[in-house]
Chains A and B, each alone.
Chain A
Amino acid sequence: MTRTSLLLVAFFLVLSPARAQLRVSPESVILNGPEASQQMLVVEKDGRRIDRTRDVQMHVVHPNIAHVDKSGWIEARGEGKTVLLIQHQGKETRVPIEVRNFLTPTPVSFEQQIIPLLTKASCNSGGCHGKSGGQNGFQLSVFGFDPEADFRALTMEARGRRVFPAAPASSLLLTKATGAMPHGGGAKIPEGSLPYRRLLRWVREGMPLRTEAVPPIAKIEVEPAEQVLALEGAQQLRVTAIDEKGERHCVTAEAEYESNAPTIAGIDRRSLVQAGKIPGQAAILVRYMGQVAVCRITIPRPDVKFARPAEANFIDRHVWNQLERLGLPPSDVADDATFLRRVYLDTIGTLPTAAEARTFLASKNPNKRAKLIDELLDRPEYADFWTMRWSDLLRVDRDAVTAQGSVALSRWLRHQFVVNRPYDEFVRDILTAKGSITRESPAGFFKTLEKPEVMSRSISQLFLGIRIECAQCHHHPSEKWDQNDYLALAGFFTGVGRKNLPSGGEAIVAKSGTDLKHPRTGKFVPARPLGAAPVEFEPGADRRIYLADWMTSSRNPYLARATANRLWSHYFGRGLVEPIDDLRATNPATNEPLLDELTQHLKQVKFDLKSLTRTMLNSRVYQLGADTSANRDDEQNFSHVVSRTLPAEVLLDAISQTTGVPEKFNGWPEGVRAIQMWDNRIPSYFLKIFGRPVRASVCECERSNEPSIAQALHLLNAPEIQAKVKSRMGTTRRLAESKLSNSEIVDELYLGMLARRPTEKERGIVLELFRESVGDRRAAVEDTMWVLLNSKEFLYRR
């Protein structure tokens, strides 16, 4: 109601003088069969396209032949020809309608025409009859991936009581669905509705599983595929299925819809997109019969004069393009101190020391930021930090690969980052790793993966950004992958085995593999990469080599893209695609041109990760500030920097560094830093509560960055932290006993902990501590350090 009146107001204000031009589609309607339907779309062309489908008057001349509802959706009512009249501002458009085969329809195909109805009514959803074990004794395959099983469940199980051909309307299938009989899931399909009529006809026709006359669907299309909406604007979608014979059917009412950003643009069951009050972008995912399509919605902020900032490189160009389109001004570039602390923590997982901060802040070199980036990439901590991050992903867990295996794997990793190994070669080495797991190599990774299926899905998620595991049990709900693709990929790993070495260790061996059997059909599925043709293997060959060839080929569409996105997410706090290892057509990047060019760039620099990192860090977008006064609501377009938590190890090192008291780890030499340790099981209460991952999966999501009470208690009150703050060997004692003035001490603490000098107000607050602890300068220094250590600015990276 509110929406309609708003639209009408807008319409009269803006459009009546110009007498806008309307375009109606389709220009003629053919409805084939008694349950056929057609969504009309009415578009106004006035600079940009505006949906008028629900604003115009529509009616059908012969209501006994067809009926149109307020959303412009026509359904068949009887055989014959008639006309749809569309009236708008005194103008009339006529669309001829023909209903065919109403009386002599082709029989309903369970596989092609009933399954989507069950899916749309969510009968077969994972929360209902689709869950394993079914619901109240009635089980369907989730999303209808196994039509034959569903067919049996409906027509044969429970002594056939679910369908009643002698009195079709009394079938349990229908009486439960309408709610006429008590149904735990409620009334899902109204009596007399299109799906009801089709179910009824299917029972009446003797319940065929499939019919020749109804070919499978080859693809679906959504209209519009892209749309710009005003705040709180709306857009009707239309979905057309194209079958293998090339016939087009409107399935708007039968498809399923989902928005990836419901607060920006939501979608209802009848495919009306509704924009919210926040500018931004959303992708509407459309699903029908295992086919998927996407409509991208952009909602710009109105009335913004966009002042385009300078561009350091292509990243800025693409981000400004996007922000301009959305009317979102980016924040200003961060000051030197913020940049300094950020780039240290992001690149080398290490806080700048007070001396480093002082030098950088004092430098007058106009290129000092670029220079610093180059220096950081060459520091040994770069290799330490990235070894740690990749140890998470490659599951360097001492309980899983043994202590010797963990050392071997992390040494190998560190070497790769020291020499800046091209990423494609790095991936090839991992993929084809074999030999003793205690030798410096990535072989241990395969020890953590128990079965070919686990290997293939971990590798697919980690390197290609494809989460294939849904397809282990059913067709991927939002991708083209099915169980065959899943098994075909796992077929590359069937030759991987383990062998006990005479020396007592363990080795990964590669024998010739075999194809895997489909659990449902019992047929062998030939090994092939995702979306590619089956591979002819040389006899006895390590099948993984073929997969590595495909993955690292310059034509591979996934590897570079997934990597660019992963690296972007690390430096910018959020992937262009989220989750970062879930790349698919139905989960597009928030800035596609940017991800495309990053992908190209990574290929151009021959998978040189430092080079890609340098490009990212030198962009103005990376160096933006955190002030959100102009773009507070933006969460996905990188108009400002979002503060985030530090990894557990980085925070612990930061505390050790600033207090001047290294952490002692049992069995490790004094002074070792947490980011340097391969042992993920070393007992440490601090690392545990701050979210050190157990390395049980290849997902970055395992590293928890959720705050907790235990963390706050620990930082505020733990004896361990207190001991560091007041240690005789530490920073506070050194400063308190130095010749520095109180004010200089405050400077020193701020520089060492926050990489900046205090503001005058802050200095006043802190010097108050010195005044109040009369005579006890040591106490005042300790208090200052404690306060800074518990400040959000210290605990977070911004």
Chain B
Amino acid sequence: MNRQRINRRQALRIGASGFVGGLTLPRLLEMQATAATGAEPRARSCIFIFLEGGPSTIDMWDMKPDAPVEIRGPYRPIQTNVPGILVGEHCHRSARVADKFTILRTHSHDDNGHTTGYHYMMTGYRPNFADGTNSRIPVNELYPSIGSIISRELGPRSNMPPYINMPHPMNAGGPGFYGAEHAPFVIESDPVQPDFEVRDLRADERMDRSRQERRQRALAALESRSEPTGRAATMSTYYRMARDLIASPAARRAFDLRAEPESLRAAYGHTSLGQCALLGRRLVEAGCRFIGVDHAGWDTHFSCFPSLERDLIPQADQAFSALVTDLHDRGLLDSTLVVMMGEMGRTPRVNAQAGRDHWSQAQSVLFAGGGIRPGRVIGATDRQAAFPTSDPVGVADLLRTIFHLMGIDCNKTYLTPLGRPVPIVSGGRIVRELI
């Protein structure tokens, strides 16, 4: 423990003294990453499934069969393939692969709002606006989101954009003060649609190849006049990346879900969440760092059980279990961290409208791959799933753990435009039981 700490300091000191003797930026980042965790990070990419609105994890991953009916709800727990771990009956697909993921039952914080909770979860910082008053997209104007941080710290792994959102921008997924350079590349169309395609990616098929080449050649010839500087140089870089994306069959193939066998597409489920998860896997293979999938509709205040059992839970269960299985089958699970959670859980007591309300005090979060220890349950809540009875895991703890798994030094600090230092994560501890 102590030794690791010294290592990190040393790495930072080298960083502070400038790039001496062949110490390149990637090498330095690598050293910092290694020093921060004491070992090479296992997770190279992360698929982050956000169940927006607040999933009812008491009906999924933290069952209370002995509680009164107005708390335990209508569902019964079922056995998983790990003896002793029980999940809700509608999570039966995940139950068959419970040895491949871990349930953290004690995620807890005190922001019970949607927009504010989303902001808190995605940035680690509390927002300075009241819930519901803000319809801006993205809402995190100051603090960078987890994906933007990963984009900045780890950079691209290939010619794919490092940070992607789908099937629309994540509400609090913006780059904050890091600036547009670390904004997500948003795939603003839903992969479940039969005509799904990524905007502006497909070259005009009616234009023959020689004409396209002619255009590119003329553009290159005219642009060779001067070396661009500043933003124009950045734009040149992006032009090159865009041309690669359009021209490179590999990059374009990454976005092409039709290349997947129908059986696998069906295994993920023909739902927005399922096809997003599948596309997420393809993007991980193509080198993307952080894929944020936003799945809305979990704010089940009224008559929640029909929609939970017919739509929401089966979709999430199917997408998550298929993703974990698929990643495992391809040998990618070890290097890919999968997290599934929302901004809050839901009230233990079923309300008068047969729904459950906001409950940020306890939520179960699913982790798979990326070097975590699978097949476990971490922590416990009380008899009503109202409060953690073991160490609660707050937002900062959760983020610190995710960054740690990705090999990012959370204590690194950047200055806001006003000159305020903002560490990547303020406070928090690594959830050691998970690793």
Chains A and B belong together in one complex = yes
Interface size class on chain B is 35 or more
Segment at the interface with B among A12-20, A40-48, A731-739, A787-795: A787-795
Query: Which of B2, B136, B417, B420 makes the CB contact (< 8 A) with A579?
Result: B417
B3 at the interface (CB under 8 A from A): no
A714 at the interface (CB under 8 A from B): yes
A706 at the interface (CB under 8 A from B): yes
Q: Are B246's CB and A713's CB within 8 A? A: yes
Segment at the interface with B among A308-316, A360-368, A549-557, A696-704: A696-704
Q: Are A719's CB and B204's CB within 8 A? A: yes
Q: Are A787's CB and B219's CB within 8 A? A: yes
When distances are taken between beta carbons in the complex, the residues of chain A under 8 Å from B309 are none
Interface size class on chain A is 35 or more
When distances are taken between beta carbons in the complex, the residues of chain B under 8 Å from A701 are 417
When distances are taken between beta carbons in the complex, the residues of chain A under 8 Å from B202 are 717
When distances are taken between beta carbons in the complex, the residues of chain A under 8 Å from B427 are 133, 135
Q: Are A716's CB and B201's CB within 8 A? A: no
Segment at the interface with B among A26-34, A269-277, A768-776: A768-776
Segment at the interface with A among B22-30, B70-78, B116-124, B233-241: B233-241
When distances are taken between beta carbons in the complex, the residues of chain A under 8 Å from B221 are 765
Query: Which of B141, B200, B215, B235 makes the CB contact (< 8 A) with A707?
Result: B235
When distances are taken between beta carbons in the complex, the residues of chain A under 8 Å from B135 are 399
| Closest beta carbon of chain B to A56's beta carbon, Å | 29
- In Å, the complex CA distance between A791 and B202 comes to 21
Q: Are B241's CB and A709's CB within 8 A? A: yes
B40 at the interface (CB under 8 A from A): no
Query: Which of B137, B215, B238, B421 makes the CB contact (< 8 A) with A709?
Result: B238
A609 at the interface (CB under 8 A from B): no
Number of A-B pairs, beta carbon distance below 8 Å: 136
B222 at the interface (CB under 8 A from A): yes
- Smallest CB gap from B416: residue in A: A126
Segment at the interface with A among B57-65, B97-105, B179-187: B179-187
When distances are taken between beta carbons in the complex, the residues of chain A under 8 Å from B222 are 762, 765-766, 787-788, 791
Q: Are B245's CB and A713's CB within 8 A? A: yes
Known A-B contacts A709-B242, A716-B246; the reply to A792 vs B232 at CB < 8 A is yes
A50 at the interface (CB under 8 A from B): no
- In Å, the complex CA distance between A400 and B186 comes to 25
| Closest beta carbon of chain B to A539's beta carbon, Å | 34
Q: Are B418's CB and A707's CB within 8 A? A: no
| Closest beta carbon of chain A to B212's beta carbon, Å | 10
- In Å, the complex CA distance between A615 and B51 comes to 57
When distances are taken between beta carbons in the complex, the residues of chain A under 8 Å from B235 are 707, 711-712, 792, 795
When distances are taken between beta carbons in the complex, the residues of chain A under 8 Å from B200 are 710, 713-714, 716-719
Interface membership of chain A positions 754-793, coded 1 if the CB is closer than 8 angstroms to chain B and 0 otherwise: 0000000010011011001100000100011011101110
Q: Are A645's CB and B231's CB within 8 A? A: yes
Residue among A685, A706, A711, A768 with most chain B CB within 10 A: A706
B297 at the interface (CB under 8 A from A): no
When distances are taken between beta carbons in the complex, the residues of chain B under 8 Å from A791 are 219, 222-223
- In Å, the complex CA distance between A469 and B186 comes to 33
B211 at the interface (CB under 8 A from A): yes
Q: Are B421's CB and A712's CB within 8 A? A: no
Query: Which of A127, A691, A766 makes the CB contact (< 8 A) with B421?
Result: A127
- In Å, the complex CA distance between A133 and B223 comes to 53
Query: Which of A131, A704, A706 makes the CB contact (< 8 A) with B426?
Result: A131
Which residues, 381 to 436 on A, are CB-close (under 8 Å) to B? 399
Q: Are A783's CB and B223's CB within 8 A? A: no
Query: Which of A127, A697, A709, A772 makes the CB contact (< 8 A) with B245?
Result: A709
- In Å, the complex CA distance between A477 and B185 comes to 36
When distances are taken between beta carbons in the complex, the residues of chain A under 8 Å from B239 are 712, 716, 790
Which residues, 176 to 220 on B, are CB-close (under 8 Å) to A? 179-181, 183, 185-186, 188, 199-204, 211, 214-215, 218-219
Binding site for B on A (CB under 8 A): 125-127, 131, 133, 135, 182, 186, 399, 467, 469-470, 477-478, 579, 642-645, 685, 691, 694, 696-697, 701, 704-714, 716-719, 722, 762, 765-766, 768-769, 772-773, 779, 783-784, 786-788, 790-792, 795-796
Binding site for A on B (CB under 8 A): 2, 9, 135-137, 141, 161, 179-181, 183, 185-186, 188, 199-204, 211, 214-215, 218-219, 221-223, 228, 230-232, 234-236, 238-239, 241-243, 245-246, 413, 417-423, 426-427
Known: A131-B423, A712-B241, A783-B218. 15 other contacts (CB 8 A): A126-B421, A127-B423, A182-B2, A470-B420, A478-B419, A696-B136, A707-B235, A708-B180, A709-B185, A711-B235, A714-B199, A716-B200, A718-B199, A718-B200, A765-B221
19 pairs, A vs B, C-beta closer than 8 Å = A131-B423, A133-B427, A694-B137, A706-B179, A706-B234, A708-B180, A708-B181, A708-B183, A708-B185, A708-B238, A712-B243, A713-B200, A717-B201, A717-B204, A719-B200, A773-B211, A787-B215, A795-B235, A796-B231
